[in-house]
Amino acid sequence: MTQGELPGPGPDERLLPKGRRNKQGIRIDPEAEAEHQPERALLSALVKHEPGVLAEVSGLFSRRQFNIESLTVGATIDEDFARMTIVIEEPRPGIDQAKKQLEKLIPVISVRELDRDAVQRELVIVKVNGTEPDKVNAITDMYNGETLDAGPRTITVQLTGDHEKIDNALDAYRQFGIREIARTGYSALARGEAATAKVSEPNQAPTDAQTATEEAADD
């Protein structure tokens, strides 16, 4: 006889609930369950500019299995802070969870999901075979690119744009033979007067005069 038996009605003789939840813990009608499809979201995080923050953020995404397409990081006008732009592809609950987990990291000051109309750009450097320089240059011009280096065997160009434009340009270059590419991933800011971070950056332009000074310094 097995030990530790307890008294009471068995599993089939009990009051059992009728409802169900899906994998995300959302109550569903089992007859009409709709799966959440992955979608692409653009997150912008203002973080402290200190050692280890990039490792902390990238570690968070990998250990919680969030699917990221790109992650860029760079300085802001205040040297104490950096801005990260992260493109993530997840079902909606995963995107929300990623935002909250990111915001929870102590060196992360603010996280915002940017609207689809945010100003977003990626830069790519492409090295193609240089056997047909005129044709290569024609494509570079068409995509408003810039030739960075040209030699007898290779031509290296730079392009900026959104994902679609860069993909189209790469398709066009493919006929010459692409040797190597390096893509930066997206950088983005909210469009218009909307702030990209939820909080003001400490040295964010409070007056026009200061803005001008900072822009001058940036140049």
Q: Between 91 and 133, whose beta carbon lies closer to another protein?
A: 91
Does 63 help bind another protein (rule: CB under 8 A)? Answer: yes
Report the nearest approach of another protein to the CB of residue 43 (Å). Answer: 14
Q: CA geometry: angle at 102 spanning 38 and 122, to 5°?
A: 65
Report the nearest approach of another protein to the CB of residue 31 (Å). Answer: 14
Give Rg (Cα) of the chain: 25
Q: How far apart are CA 192 and CA 102, in angstroms?
A: 25
Longest dimension (CA), the chain: 87
Nearest to 173 by CA among 161, 157, 185: 157
For 148, the 3-state DSSP assignment is strand
Does 65 help bind another protein (rule: CB under 8 A)? Answer: no
Q: CB under 8 A: which stretch of 94-102, 131-139, 165-173, 175-183 binds another protein? A: 94-102
Site string for another protein, 174-203 (x = CB under 8 A): -------------------------x----
Does 100 help bind another protein (rule: CB under 8 A)? Answer: yes
Report the nearest approach of another protein to the CB of residue 104 (Å). Answer: 5
List, in order, residues 6 or more apart from 169 with CB less than 8 Å away.
Answer: 124, 126, 139, 143, 145, 159, 161
Q: Which of 3, 37, 65, 207 touches another protein (CB under 8 A)?
A: 3
Does 16 help bind another protein (rule: CB under 8 A)? Answer: yes
Q: Which of 29, 31, 65, 106 touches another protein (CB under 8 A)?
A: 106
Report the nearest approach of another protein to the CB of residue 47 (Å). Answer: 10
CA distances from 22 to 2, 39, 41, 93, 95 (A): 35, 18, 23, 12, 17
Q: Between 9 and 192, whose beta carbon lies closer to another protein?
A: 9
Q: Which of 51, 152, 192, 206 touches another protein (CB under 8 A)?
A: 51
For 38, the 3-state DSSP assignment is coil
Q: Between 21 and 153, whose beta carbon lies closer to another protein?
A: 21
Q: How far apart are CA 122 and CA 184, in angstroms?
A: 6
Q: Which of 36, 38, 49, 56 touches another protein (CB under 8 A)?
A: 56
Question: Of all helices (H) and strands (E), which one includes residue 206?
Answer: none
Does 6 help bind another protein (rule: CB under 8 A)? Answer: yes
